[in-house]
Amino acid sequence: MLELQPSTLNSSQHTFLIKQEAQRLQFDFCGISKAVPLNDDARRLESWLNKGFHGKMKYMENHFDLRTDPTKLVPGAKSVISLLYNYYQNQSSLDKTKPKIAKYAFGDDYHFIIKEKLYELLHTIENRIGNVTARVFVDSGPVLERTWAAKSGLGWVGKNGNLINKQHGSFYFLAEIILDVELDYDAPIKNYCGTCTRCIDACPTDAISERNVIDGSKCISYFTIELREEIPLEMKGKFEGWMFGCDICQDVCPWNRFARQHEESKFLPSDLLTAMKKEDWEELTEEIYERLFKNSPLKRAKFEGIRRNLLFLKDD
Angle (deg, nearest 10), helices 11-24 and 110-129: 150
Bridge partners, 169 (sequence order): 165
Q: What is the DSSP letter of 263?
A: -
Q: Give the whole-angstrom CA distance, residue 140 versus residue 112.
A: 11
Q: Give the whole-angstrom CA distance, residue 212 versus residue 164.
A: 12
Marked catalytic residue, from 69, 139, 180, 251: 139
Q: Give the whole-angstrom CA distance, residue 88 versus residue 172.
A: 7
Element housing 250 (H / E): helix 248-251
Whether 63 and 18 have beta carbons less than 8 Å apart is answered as no
Tallying the residues shown for the chain, one arrives at 316
Q: Are strands 213-214 and 208-210 parallel, antiparallel or unpaired?
A: antiparallel
Q: Give the whole-angstrom CA distance, residue 17 versus residue 12.
A: 9
Is residue 280 among the annotated active site residues?
A: no
Q: Give the whole-angstrom CA distance, residue 283 versus residue 285.
A: 6
Bridge partners, 85 (sequence order): 173
Per DSSP (E only), the strands in 78-180 are 79-86, 100-101, 134-137, 156-157, 163-164, 172-179
CA-nearest of 78, 73, 81 to 15 is 81
Q: How many CB atoms lie within 10 A of CB 176?
A: 25
Q: Give the whole-angstrom CA distance, residue 281 versus residue 310.
A: 8
In 36-109, alpha helices (H): 39-50, 64-68, 70-73
Enumerate the active-site residues. 139
